[in-house]
Amino acid sequence: MKWLRESNRPRHILYGFFGALIGTLLFSIGLAIGKEYGDKAWGGKFDRLDLWATLIGGIAGQIIQLFIIWIIIKLI
């Protein structure tokens, strides 16, 4: 779990969370791949740990989104 606190990975988790909360997990995956492609295009490296951090946030956001939808359906 130490790798999650390195670099800017908490920010990756946050952006993945909001991407999946507003969109879907697939949107969050697209954000992650696009960000890593941008890093590589600017001379950096494709960091798979950043990708995984974004996906962890995306999974959490999708779960919260499904819970909110379930509550709304129960209220109707």
- The letter for the amino acid at 18 is F
The single-letter DSSP state of residue 27 is H
Distance CA 75, CA 55 (A): 30
Quick one: which H or E segment has residue 52?
Answer: helix 48-75
Helix (H, G, I), strand (E, B) or coil at 1: coil
Which of 30, 76, 74 lies closest to 54, judged by CA?
30
Structural domain spans, the chain: 2-75
Per-residue confidence of the chain (76 residues) as pLDDT tens digits? 777 777 788 888 999 999 999 999 999 999 999 988 988 888 888 888 989 999 999 999 999 999 999 999 999 8
Q: Specify whether the CB–CB gap between 32 and 12 falls below 8 A.
A: yes
